Amino acid sequence: MAKLKTKSAAKKRLKISGKGKIRRNKAGHGHLLSKKTGSRKRRLKNSGIVSKNDKKKIKRLLPYG
């Protein structure tokens, strides 16, 4: 069987943790930050975890992850 290709967009944006959870960056921390409160910006800094509903789709994009 041929090797499966990893989707480049997913490779750049997602990381798989040691326990197999998929980490992602939260949206909204790129620009227009002056109007956002400090606590909101701190929350956006931390990585989020992909929901279990989307996990199956993501695994298909990252076959060797």
pLDDT in tens, 2-48: 999 999 999 999 999 999 999 999 999 999 999 999 999 999 999 99
Q: What is the pTM of this model?
A: 0.79
Q: Give me the pLDDT at residue 57, please.
A: 94
Q: Give me the pLDDT at residue 26, please.
A: 96
No. of helices (H) and no. of strands (E), the chain: 3, 3
Q: Give me the pLDDT at residue 65, please.
A: 79
The whole-angstrom separation of Cα 24 and Cα 13 is 6
Pair of tokens at residue 37 = 């409160």
Q: Give me the pLDDT at residue 38, please.
A: 97
In the chain, where the domains are located: 16-26+37-65
Q: Give me the pLDDT at residue 59, please.
A: 92
Q: Which are the contacts of 19, defined by CB distance < 8 A and separation ≥ 6? A: none
